[in-house]
Structure 1
């Protein structure tokens, strides 16, 4: 999975604004780093900027959705910072910083000034990573010694951070199959390898109901999750890279992914509470 998010330095003033990620005040520093005032970005032409983002980051930087304030290179880059997935923005800015440092004439002559700009960018990228709405750490767990699991989680996270939920669907389906099979095996209820995802989840949901793990208030929503995983199973088979398919529309794929992540995070909370010893719970009560 992607790297653990770094916490911003609490002793430094927050950079990200309430309504825009780059406030007018901090935009001055941003433009100073990337020489992006006046419509420019470092030494890029329109062509070389497009090529660099495509070849280095597999990203079409000149998408219309990034051009909220204009289509120049500088405005496009700042628009990308405003609207793209925060972890993706952080990844791009760090790569762009490395590119900048390899150029002649774009670093500050004063080493102290250069160090201040580097510290500012590190603070900004840390804040971006912590502002991400992707629920990856809560949803995905290292639940077994399966050596393919870390690679699977990393592949899913990489696609989601890169805003490619349509590409992630196949591997997200694989993770869910592995996770629910493992949860059933822990309870002594293994399932056949040919059992589809929604049937595996259905068996798990029945166990939760019978155990009384989920209250009557949450049970109806848990039943809805069965249809969610049936939908994921169908999308995986008919609209993902699992077969020679046309991919699902990005907006629809993102909706499915968001719903599955929320469901997985809820299930992990259920499992964490289930495995917490009663003595640990009692120890938290101060009376």
Structure 2
């Protein structure tokens, strides 16, 4: 069950969508199934979504129970769009106010943001690398479409390009034959020498993350589309994605600290040079 859709929010949403006595707006069961399939690519008429009962309303409640925050938010947005369209020709039945529309839309936006709070960090090192940018966009789309298992192979490629790119920036030598975790280990050794991390615990976590990327190699090779594999389940795939996205976000922060420290040092050298020149 998703944790960020409260009972009060569900109750207000049910009133808006007229989910009384098993009904759902003016939509028949087949039409509802087509709408949900178009948005989420799932079939709510299967037994999986009958856990609360066979009615249209209960099948929608099952989606709220079983799917991710992002998927629920995305579906709610589509319901609001449908509601607004129907209200034009049938304002008596579709009689909610614009404030009601906005409430559900804002709820949907919040659920979508909670579901993928670290998606924004999946971006290339620079905007000039179009291949890297396209790779990042493809990962983002798969996550937004709630297909994290399909994104794992590309996430591995993304990390290889990202870590190698950082090594090039810092002139850390590596070979193409070295594994992702081996190259990453060299990067971790480099930042340790810069003393940019304040906490011993943070340093330990970063060292342990080398092991995470080693395990990620195995997931990529044996549980992703890299080969003819049976895909890892969605829940674990999303957890792996979220963990790696968080790590990438923290590495971005470390890189910002390094840039700031270098700029400060360069400015100090310039100030010293300027003072010495004036004294002369």
Flag whether TM exceeds 0.5 (same fold): yes
TM-score by length of 2: 0.77
> What is the CA–CA distance in structure 1 between the aligned matches of 2:24 and 2:161, rounded to whole Å?
45
Shift of 1:279: 5.2
Verify: 1:126 aligned to 2:109, yes or no: yes
Shift of 1:62: 5.2
> What is the CA–CA distance in structure 1 between the aligned matches of 2:11 and 2:203, rounded to whole Å?
52
Verify: 1:140 aligned to 2:122, yes or no: yes
Structure 1 unaligned blocks of 5 or more: 1-18, 281-287
RMSD: 3.3
Higher normalized helix content (fraction of residues) = 2
Cα separation, partners in 2 of 1:267 and 1:65, compared to 1, 3 Å: farther
Q: Which has the higher contact order (CA 8 A, sep 6+)?
A: 1
Larger radius of gyration: 2
TM-score by length of 1: 0.75
Question: Which of 183, 197, 204 matches 1:200?
Answer: 183
> What is the CA–CA distance in structure 2 between the aligned matches of 1:68 and 1:20, rounded to whole Å?
21
The within-5 A match list for 1:227-246 is 227-246=211-230
Shift of 1:186: 0.6
> What is the CA–CA distance in structure 1 between the aligned matches of 2:22 and 2:149, rounded to whole Å?
33
> What is the CA–CA distance in structure 1 between the aligned matches of 2:49 and 2:256, rounded to whole Å?
40
Q: In 1, are the aligned partners of 2:153 and 2:226 still within 8 Å (CA)?
A: yes
Q: How many residues align?
A: 261
Question: Which of 151, 170, 174 matches 1:168?
Answer: 151
Structure 2 unaligned blocks of 5 or more: 266-280
Verify: 1:89 aligned to 2:68, yes or no: no
Shift of 1:41: 2.0
The within-5 A match list for 1:1-287 is 21-24=5-8, 26-27=9-10, 29-61=12-44, 69-81=52-64, 84-103=67-86, 108-109=91-92, 113-132=96-115, 134-137=117-120, 139-144=121-126, 145-189=128-172, 191-214=174-197, 215-277=199-261
Show CA shifts across 1:222-243 (max 9, x none). 2221111111112112221122
Cα separation, partners in 2 of 1:185 and 1:76, compared to 1, 3 Å: same
